[in-house]
Chains A and B, each alone.
Chain A
């Protein structure tokens, strides 16, 4: 076995990289999609729930009240572009490209966007929106969970790392 395979504290996931959260408070690579939530520029109560599927690049964008996004008729809207841009900031372009199955390892967010768009992806129905939004709420709930001063010995298995993967 390699050292990595035989290390209790082997690093499996790189920590998120810093980014500003005002425009895109939530982005994740999960459920076979790049998905997240984009704040509306005009209405503070409204957010857009956007997603792009890995492999097929099928996309969807609608508001949290399930109204379709006007920009996402037939093609990626600005919310989806913002989502890709922020995902690349948070995870690095390699991880985003690998997850979406885009051959853009040495490129940038713009290139990932163009390459997917070049495949003329289909528009998905808004079935995933409710699930993505509930994952956003679950994510936000972490802000309000209580701290504890009782020791958690299990976190010894999770050292920080300075290595940006």
Chain B
């Protein structure tokens, strides 16, 4: 791992981000009547993709939008251009990380989603709300506009096939609702809301979420658990190395489980919610490998977990996996629509560093890299203090706002001359330590109340 390569800016990225920032300022002001400076931002966006197959379409969209005359199809084109530019940023950032880790991507071609097909009414309803949002702009949002998303989200959520869009819109709309009225906002998360808006719009296109899957058989060695959550959804993502039974090259894979949740289900309650649907979480807590037989997998290395294709295997220490197998593993390529730097999470192993600034920085051979301890879930034994006192770390390299950061998944510390491992996801499959048991108890009580109330009141 060459930490020094993560210290320098990635060439060309600043220029692309400047173009995106211009488009985002136009979105903040709203596209119903953009001012000259905002219109210029849209034109610059179109110029940035002029040589691509999107060129003509985006130029027309920018022209219409600049005149305040854009329709839904034009908004889709602008969103597509923004996502395409981030695709280029993704590739540049990932190439730098691959240089730093010395790890390559296996060259299996990604199968493109087929696209096309009939747009469902629900997707059209979502698109229509997103178009209204773009016309109003972030400074123009109010409660009436934002609450317009609610019936759409309620209708999308029960359908697992449409869950990507549903979970995204749900989290996005909650942020917008808490930020109303937009005219009173002191600051706006421009990049973020631009990302969420453009991505949601693209997900309303029929076929956008279709993924081709194959199957794999072999041994799965977990590295650690990454958690994602907003008020009403959570996802646990296990990063692991997969060793094919046929003796092929080990691969970096992920297994995920997600569910919508009430906003009061937090902390250990999230593990309780997700645990029954992914037997791998128990294996992680027990420090075991799992043996997979014909497990479905997408072309970008996401296992589509089904418990019947997995059984518990031998004990496997993630730090042994990180030291011995991780360096030999290769990654899957990213699906075209997922090429965005926020999606980058590359497993790495670091040791021989000194941790400074309360665990916010690791310094290796005079070179420093930022450490993102804020992403470590609250419901687990890993803490920023433990990171600050650690001497080895399994982490995910991420990139945001121009900076590379390592998100710790697990660390080794020395307690009374003995090495102790602390894992962020140690409670995922069930907590056994005292603090964990207490957290589980509180979460069980909260879940019991909500289930009782739901059982009594929902079907009246």
B235 interface residue (CB < 8 Å to A):
yes
The answer to whether the Cβ of B187 comes within 8 Å of any Cβ in the partner chain is yes
> By the criterion CB–CB under 8 Å, are A148 and B259 in contact?
yes
Q: Closest 7 A-B residue pairs measured CB to CB?
A: A147-B259, A155-B228, A149-B305, A154-B168, A8-B342, A7-B401, A21-B449
For the complex formed, measure the closest distance between the CB of A38 and the CB atoms of chain B, giving whole angstroms: 12
Q: Does B384 contact A (CB under 8 A)?
A: yes
Q: Which of B266, B273, B458 contacts A147 (CB 8 A)?
A: B273
CB distance from A55 to the nearest CB of B (A): 13
Q: B334 to chain A: closest CB distance in Å?
A: 9
Does A127 reach chain B (CB closer than 8 Å)? no
Given contacts A4-B187, A147-B277, A148-B160, 5 further A-B contacts (CB under 8 A): A18-B266, A152-B256, A153-B343, A155-B258, A158-B233
Given contacts A19-B264, A155-B233, contact A161 B191 (CB under 8 A): no
> In the complex, A15 Cα to B165 Cα: how many Å?
21
Q: Does B298 contact A (CB under 8 A)?
A: yes
Interface size range on B against A: 35 or more
Are A6 and B191 closer than 8 Å at their CB atoms? Answer: yes
Q: Interface code B3-23, partner A: CB below 8 Å = 1, 0 otherwise?
A: 000000000000001000100
Q: Which residues of B contact A44 (CB under 8 A)?
A: 456
Find the A residue at minimum CB distance from B229. A160
Chain A window 1-35, contacts with chain B (Cβ cutoff 8 Å), 1 for yes, 0 for no:
11111111110110111111110010001111000
Q: Which of B170-178, B320-328, B429-437 contacts A (4 or more CB under 8 A)?
A: B170-178
Interface assignment of A42: CB less than 8 Å from any CB of chain B:
no
Choose among B154, B190, B306, B373 the residue that contacts A1 (Cβ–Cβ < 8 A).
B190
B416 within 8 A of A: no
One of A5, A22, A30, A160 near B228 (C-beta < 8 A) = A160
**Which A residues have a C-beta under 8 Å from some C-beta of B?**
1-10, 12-13, 15-22, 25, 29-32, 39, 44-45, 47, 64, 90, 136-163
Contacts of B171 in A (CB 8 A): 155, 157-158
User: Smallest distance from the beta carbon of B106 to chain A beta carbons, Å?
Assistant: 19
| A22-B449, A153-B343 known; A160+B375 contact, CB < 8 A | yes
B246 within 8 A of A: no
Query: B284 to nearest A CB, angstroms?
Result: 15
A36 to chain B, nearest CB (A): 11
CA distance A144 to B459 in the complex (A): 12
Chain A residues with CB under 8 Å of B163's CB are 148, 150, 152
**B218 interface residue (CB < 8 Å to A):** no
Query: Is A16's CB under 8 angstroms from B266's CB?
Result: yes
B143 A32 Cβ-Cβ under 8 A:
yes
B458 x A154 contact (CB < 8 A): no
Q: CB-defined interface of B423-460 with A at 8 Å, one 1/0 digit per residue?
A: 00000000000000000001001110111011011100
- In the assembly, what is the distance between CA of A44 and CA of B455, in Å? 12
